[in-house]
Amino acid sequence: MDTLNAMKLYCHIVDAGQLSIAADQLNLSKGTVSKQLAKLEAHLGGRLLNRTTRRLTPTEVGIAFYERAKQILESVEEAECVVTGLTVEPSGTLKINAPMSFGFLHMGELLAKYQQKYPKVTVDITLHDRQIDLIEEGYDLALRIANLKDSSLIARKIASCHLVMCASPVYLKRNGEPKKPSDLKNHQCLLYTYSDSVRSWGFEDKHGKKQQVSVNGALSTNNGNLICDALVNGMGIARLPTFIIGDAIRQGKAKIILDEWRSRPQNISLLYPSSRHLSAKVRTFVDMAVEHFRPVVDEDNEWDKNIPL
């Protein structure tokens, strides 16, 4: 069996949704397309499509095969362009994972600009904060906010952010302002459950002195926006990135505390699997993200503007 041509046929069928439409697009008879599909399913040992009188829909296995086949066909096309010296136009589906808060607050404009420039690319972006395996789960890119350890993935920094300890003026007036990290033991702390140390916060001053403080509070959640909203409403103290809490600080709804014990800035990076040939859709998106989030010379990122850091 010519596996590559079988992949092309199958992807055409899925995109078309009907055998007759796919047959017309490929200039083949419907019977020929049906027979080749049956041969592919027999070769793979599993049903790829559920057939009804009106439409074909991929099975769970069929969806997985379609996504991987698309990636392979795009790579083949790009490899051919490298040899022939042509510039390949980005196309296909770009699958991205990003943290919920950053994606919701700051990625919409970038995605719109990218799609306008590269209309043949469809972006499939999933927002959640859990750590994912790019290769195992089939993602092209993942956005991470951390100073990353060595890994087999390539990391391209697109921006940075600061983590700041904050509380609302209302909370501080009612409970007093902590002057040193150990004072947090007597305060309500708002806990981010996806942190490596949910109830143990680390601090380091400008001289390199470190402290680890056990904290507790009435709220723990996996979403930074909810923590920010609770903080603004006087529920407690939190450590949040400036891309979430920045507007509240500028509006006077939140105040930075324990400023001498601020965490070092964290990198905001796009990660992608290491490979000798980077696909056009990934390369162009990463390059545009770097340009989009790059601060103007001598100015902060948009979320750090007018914040005393």
Contact of 175 with 235, CB cutoff 8 Å: no
pLDDT in tens, 26-56: 788 888 888 888 888 888 888 888 877 667 7
Q: Which of 46-50, 70-74, 141-145 has the lowest mean pLDDT?
A: 70-74
- Per-chain mean pLDDT for the chain: 84
Using the Cα atoms of residue 111, residue 265, residue 97 and residue 190 in order, give the sign of their dihedral.
negative
Question: Which comes out higher in pLDDT, residue 307 or 175?
Answer: 175
What confidence tier does 172 reach under pLDDT thresholds 50, 70, 90?
A: very high
Q: Could you tell me how many residues make up the chain?
A: 309
| pLDDT for 296 beyond 50 | yes
Domains of the chain: residue spans and CATH: 3-84 (1.10.10.10), 92-161+266-304 (3.40.190.10), 163-261 (3.40.190.10)
Handedness of CA 9, 10, 15, 18 (dihedral sign): positive
Residues 190-194 have a mean pLDDT of 89
**CB-based burial, 233-251: b 16+ in 10 Å, e otherwise:** ebbbbbbbbbbbbbbbbee
Task: Give the model's confidence band at 297: pLDDT under 50 very low, under 70 low, under 90 confident, else very high.
Answer: very low
